[in-house]
Amino acid sequence: MSSTTPSTTSTTPVTVVVGASSGIGQAAAIRAAEGGSGVIVTYNSNKDGAAETVARVEEVGGTAVALPLDVGDSSTFPAFRGAVEQALAQTWAADKVTGLVNNAGFGGGTPFAETTEEQLDRFYRVIFKGPYLITQTLLPLIADGGAIVNTSSNSALPSGLSEGYSAYGSMKGAVIVLTRYLAKELSGRRIRVNSVSPGPTNTPFAGGAFEELPEMTAELVERTALGRLGDPDDAASVIAFLLSDGGRWVTAQDVEVSGGFNL
């Protein structure tokens, strides 16, 4: 997946996709495998979903390993790094990964005046602190010339502002800023860092809201220039490009993947 041969005992690229048991993360894992990368997928509570991701990676001729990870609990990160090292050695005879996708998270909206400190802290732990510290923890395992892609949201952009998402959107905005800083600080190792900001996307992340609220779905489609909701693979295709040699000259960018939402 990288334009530079990784410093591993294997020439097989390997991508870690954090939060890959469903939705965009699952689709990104499959796309990475289609591009020739081995995949380490993580899950929190959805072990069955992670097993499905592994099976779908194998269907396209790839190899995947599923590892548990609670992105909201940074005390588990050192042990996770050890599990990644073990998976690399045992499955790919490697000691480095060439790609990292920070995708884990959760959604939900609450009006600003009603947002509790507990809600704000949880958004912070999972959406910003988690990706920040898991990237820091895995950094020694990322090959020079590798790539990092962070999943943000167009709720952090002027095009995606909606009432009730002040906490969620603010943390996703912080992810975009972090992306630029990582791109600058890791450039000496030729590690590219970008983010993608999906618009309304029909994933399990939405908790069935699109099916239960057809009037909301119709409104979102009406506001989207290309005339439909996003699909997980829409964002996953862009993630795969940014991980690949095709994205070798792209860094410090946020790519909105929304079909022209509010265009």
- Count: domains in the chain: 1
Average pLDDT over residues 99-113: 92
Burial 226-235 (b: 16+ CB within 10 A, else e): eeebbbbbbb
Q: Is residue 262 part of a domain?
A: no
Domain that holds residue 238: 14-256
Instruction: Please indicate whether residue 3 or residue 30 has the higher confidence score (pLDDT).
Output: 30
Whether 2 is covered by a domain: the verdict is no
Strand order of the sheet with strand 254-257? 64-68, 38-43, 14-18, 97-102, 142-151, 192-198, 254-257
**What pLDDT score does 5 carry?**
39
In the predicted model, is pLDDT for residue 4 greater than 50? no
Is residue 124 annotated as a catalytic residue, yes or no?
A: no
20's CB contacts (< 8 A; 6+ apart) are 26, 28, 29, 39, 41, 42, 43, 50, 53, 101, 103
What pLDDT, in 10s, does the model give residues 51-101?
999 999 999 999 999 999 999 999 999 999 999 999 999 999 999 999 999
pLDDT of 237 higher than 80: yes
Residue 3 has pLDDT above 80, yes or no: no
Flag whether pLDDT at 207 surpasses 90: no
Q: For residue 143, what are the contacts with CB-CB under 8 A and spacing of at least 6? A: 2, 4, 6, 7, 8, 96, 97, 98
Whether 92 is in a domain gets the answer: yes
pLDDT for residue 127 is more than 60: yes
Q: Give the C-alpha separation, 143 to 138, whole Å.
A: 10
**pLDDT, tens digit, 9 for 90 and up, residues 146-200:** 999 999 999 999 999 989 999 999 999 999 999 999 999 999 999 999 999 999 9
Cα–Cα–Cα angle for 71, 159, 99, rounded to 5 degrees: 35
> Does residue 250 fall inside a structural domain?
yes
46 falls within a domain: yes
23 lies in a domain? yes
CATH, residue 183: 3.40.50.720
**Residue 206 pLDDT level (bands cut at 50, 70, 90):** low
Q: What is the pTM of this model?
A: 0.93
Q: Which two tokens stand for residue 52?
A: 């499905």
Share the mean pLDDT of the chain. Answer: 93
Residue 6 lies inside a defined structural domain of this protein:
no
Among the options 124, 132, 165, 168, which is catalytic?
168
Q: What is the pLDDT of residue 254?
A: 98
Residue 212 binned pLDDT confidence (cut-offs 50, 70, 90): confident
Tell me, yes or no, whether 226 lies in a domain: yes
* SS3 call for 241: helix
pLDDT above 70 (res 225) = yes
Contact residues for 154 (Cβ-Cβ < 8 A; gap 6+): 160, 197, 198, 199, 256, 258, 261
Instruction: Quickly state the pLDDT bin for 205 (edges 50, 70, 90).
Output: low
Q: What pLDDT does residue 58 have? A: 98
Percent of the residues in the chain that have a pLDDT greater than 70, as a whole number: 93
